[in-house]
Amino acid sequence: MRELSDIDVVGVVGAGTMGNGIAQVAATAGYEVVMRDIETEYVERGLGAVDDSLDRLASKDALDEDPAAIRDRIEGTTDLGAFAAADVVVEAAVEDLEVKKDIFGDLDGVTDGDVVLATNTSTLSITSIASATDRASDVIGLHFMNPVPIMDGVEVVVGERTVDAVVEFAHAFAEDLGKETWEADDKPGFVTNRILMPWINEGVRAYDEGVADREDIDRGMTLGTNVPMGPLELADHIGLDVVLDASETLHAELGDRYKPAYLVKRKVEAGDLGKKTGKGFYEYE
């Protein structure tokens, strides 16, 4: 396994919201980044999102470096073979176990044997994902929070066969990206989503049942519990499709207390996924 001091190139699988955010924070920390997705259109969209995010941060004097210099450290590609140059890889693809296992099987073949392979999964088993490789001891969960450039935390999730040296590396790597970490065992939902998904779904049910309007539900939770966002606004920021997927995974694993709220399903079916589509529980420009 490589030491943190050996890391020059960070590979990121997926150029979506989480992938481009991880690529951005890695490049901001000074690493060269290879960000790969399956279509050129997705790669270009991800790079555009990085440009927009860096420009916003620069306008708030929140960067220590010119945004163009950070952006130049990110290479976008559709070539899986580009990960041969990576010293550590973070997967941030769609939240589907079989898709992730296929990706990790491919990564096992194209990366050097001492490269740590991390997954950004929010609910799926690290141990199951690692089983697709011949290096389960080097596979770990690095669950970044959304939006990645803004949120301070990363959840380090330890698989059944993950060795202590990789756990230590994962904490050190996340901290080098400017994040704080906490550690969870490989159990459904880990810490964050095991607690967060029922909270969001109950907020949606309260709105759907007329307990209060959306603003008062969110205001009640922000003022009453000192969280920065209420459940409906947070669901919009996460993406209602992501909330639904996570809730359904936990429902299958842990039972009815994780059953997705009906209104979440209905909005996903309508294509109202939250901030990324311009409409969820609220409307966005």
Q: What is the pLDDT of residues 103-143, one digit of tens each?
A: 999 999 999 999 999 999 999 999 999 999 999 999 999 99
- For residue 139, is it within any domain? yes
My answer on whether 205 and 159 are in the same domain is: no
My answer on whether 57 and 75 are in the same domain is: yes
DSSP labels for 186-235? Answer: SSTTTTHHHHHHHHHHHHHHHHHTTSS-HHHHHHHHHHHH--SS-HHHHH
Q: Which of 138, 158, 185 represents a domain boundary (last residue)?
A: 185
Mean of the pLDDT values across residues 221-226? 97
Q: Which of 133, 162, 185 represents a domain boundary (last residue)?
A: 185
Binding positions are 14-19, 37, 95, 100, 122, 146, 276
Classify the phi-psi angles of 271: left when phi > 0, otherwise alpha if psi is within -120 to 50, otherwise beta. Answer: left
pLDDT at residue number 246: 93
Mean pLDDT of the chain, nearest integer: 96
My answer on whether 71 and 153 are in the same domain is: yes
Sheet of strand 116-119: strand arrangement: 74-77, 32-36, 9-13, 88-91, 116-119, 139-144, 153-158, 180-185
pTM of the model: 0.93
pLDDT at residue 102 above 80? yes
My answer on whether 172 and 196 are in the same domain is: no
My answer on whether 15 and 150 are in the same domain is: yes
Binding positions for NAD(+) are 14-19, 37, 95, 100, 122, 146, 276
My answer on whether 177 and 225 are in the same domain is: no
pLDDT at residue number 253: 93
- Domain span holding position 131: 4-185
What's 143's DSSP letter?
E
- For residue 158, is it within any domain? yes
User: pLDDT band at 19, cuts 50/70/90?
Assistant: very high
- For residue 146, is it within any domain? yes
My answer on whether 87 and 156 are in the same domain is: yes
CA nearest 150: which of 53, 230, 74, 241?
A: 53
My answer on whether 157 and 198 are in the same domain is: no
CATH number of the structural domain spanning residue 199: 1.10.1040.10
- For residue 77, is it within any domain? yes
User: pLDDT band at 1, cuts 50/70/90?
Assistant: confident
Q: How far is CA 109 from the centre of its chain?
A: 24
Q: Which of 141, 156, 185 represents a domain boundary (last residue)?
A: 185
My answer on whether 113 and 151 are in the same domain is: yes
Residue that is written with structure tokens 């996340």 in the block: 174
- For residue 282, is it within any domain? no
- For residue 31, is it within any domain? yes
pLDDT at residue 93 above 80? yes
Q: Is 120 a catalytic residue?
A: no
Question: Can the peptide bond before residue 147 be classed as cis, meaning omega within 30 degrees of 0?
Answer: yes
Q: Is 20 a catalytic residue?
A: no
CA nearest 250: which of 163, 192, 181, 207?
A: 192
For the record, the structure tokens of 39 come out as 């279509």
Q: What is the pLDDT of residues 49-84, one digit of tens each?
A: 999 999 999 999 999 999 999 999 999 999 999 999
Q: Which of 53, 125, 137, 193 is catalytic?
A: 193
Q: Domain tally for the chain?
A: 2
CATH number of the structural domain spanning residue 86: 3.40.50.720
| Contact present, 188 and 254 (Cβ < 8 Å) | yes
My answer on whether 145 and 201 are in the same domain is: no
pLDDT at residue number 2: 80
Q: Which of 122, 125, 137, 201 is catalytic?
A: 122
Q: Which of 20, 53, 120, 143 is catalytic?
A: 143
CA nearest 124: which of 99, 161, 107?
A: 99
Q: Is 53 a catalytic residue?
A: no
My answer on whether 108 and 245 are in the same domain is: no
When computed from its CA atoms, the radius of gyration of the chain, rounded to whole angstroms, is 19
Q: Which of 91, 155, 233, 248 is catalytic?
A: 155
My answer on whether 41 and 154 are in the same domain is: yes
